[in-house]
Amino acid sequence: MPDNRRSGFSSAAGLIQYYDMEETRSLKINPYIVIGLGIGAAVFVEFLNWRPI
């Protein structure tokens, strides 16, 4: 069996293939920014629930 690195691991009768190659065209966001935005959104929602109408 030849060693073919591009074939990847096949699952579900070949319908899904997993590759070892990393996608280089995707948008990269720092994890700390995502956590900060989540905390900021939670604080904003709690502020909206707290303020009197």
Identify the band that residue 31 occupies on the pLDDT scale cut at 50, 70 and 90.
Answer: very high
- Strand pairing partners for 18? 9
Where in the chain are the domains?
24-53
Per-residue pLDDT for 34 more than 90?
yes
Per-residue pLDDT for 43 more than 90?
yes
Per-residue pLDDT for 8 more than 70?
no
CB 8 within 8 A of CB 20: yes
Q: Flag whether the pTM goes above 0.95.
A: no
Per-residue pLDDT for 38 more than 90?
yes
Give CA–CA dist 26/19, Å, rounded: 15
- Of 41 and 21, the structure prediction assigns the larger pLDDT to 41
Strand locations in 1-53 (E) = 9-11, 16-18
